[in-house]
Amino acid sequence: MVGLGAAFRRLGALSGAGALGLASYGAHGAQFSDAYWKELFDKTNKHHFIHSLALLGVPHCRKPLWAGLLLASGTTLFCTSFYYQALSGDSSIQMLGPVGGSLLLIGWLALAL
């Protein structure tokens, strides 16, 4: 399980780097049609950072496979759906947000096991 924990630690670090890159893009390069989309992007980015940090803790829990998979897939679904919506204005995949959020909640609970 040491290799598995290291993999999720690396994934958390890569996710954090991606969150930082997207934060820079949102602050300096993205064109938002109004303040709502900018706020949605910023909130999504905050969640992205927080859950990247959570992935760094996965190697220290008793069920790293479950916690890591739930947190990684939840972060992907949640953040992708809202980043896409904030940048495009298209809400066609917003239904992935609650699915991702549910996976994140279960992932946090899995960290506690």
The answer to whether the CB of 81 falls within 8 A of the CB of 61 is no
pLDDT tens-place values along the chain, 113 residues long:
568 888 999 999 999 999 999 999 999 999 999 999 999 999 999 999 999 999 999 999 999 999 999 999 999 999 999 999 999 999 999 999 999 999 999 999 999 98
The answer, as to whether pTM is greater than 0.85, is: yes
- Which amino acid is located at 22 in the chain? L
The answer to whether the CB of 91 falls within 8 A of the CB of 55 is no
The answer to whether the CB of 67 falls within 8 A of the CB of 7 is no
Residues 6+ apart with CB under 8 A from 34: none
